[in-house]
Each structure stands twice: as C-alpha cells, then as structure tokens.
Amino acid sequence: MDIKTFDENAFCVDAEGFFHLWCCDCSLRHLILIEAVGNGADVFKNNGGKVAIGFVRDNVSTKMARKEDKIVIYKRKNAKKEK
C-alpha cells in the first residue's frame, strides 16, 4: 500500500507497539498504543508491518470544546525576577 501524506512530521511505528506524544500546547504527555487487529493482523505483524501515524489538531473544535468546558490555557509571560 502506497500512502501519501501531507504531514511531513508523520512517522512509522511497528504494527504492535507504543510511543509517547507531548501535546502541542497543554504539555500533557499521552501514551499512544498501536496494534494491528482483524483478519491478517498476525501475518502483518510477523512480516514487520508498519503503521504510519500523523497528527493534526482541529483548532476550531478544540476552541469550541474549551469554551464549552470553560477550560483556559495560558502561559506566564515572565518568571519572577530575582532580586
């Protein structure tokens, strides 16, 4: 299968594995689990099958969900100055 992607930061992972993802603006770390399932999954995994993974945040839906749930994300402008 030849998959073309618009995301130049996409990467491939084994068909059975995991990786950590740091969220782009909330700095939470998520554990992403990958596993091929269904017909042919075992053959796919045993033959070194890879899965392409790419992420894009939906800014409009994120903004709407944060507004509805009253979530405010902010960063401090400056650390307190040492005297």
Query: pLDDT tens digit string along 41-82?
Result: 999 999 998 887 877 788 898 889 889 989 888 777 877 766
Tokens at 4, concatenated: 């073309």
Residue, of 8 and 83, whose pLDDT is higher: 8
Q: What is the DSSP letter of 68?
A: H
Q: What is the mean pLDDT of residues 23-48?
A: 87
* Close Cβ partners of 25 (under 8 Å, ≥ 6 residues apart): 73
Instruction: Give residue 3's pLDDT.
Output: 57
Alpha helices in 1-83 (DSSP H): 41-46, 59-68
Q: What pTM was computed for the model?
A: 0.58
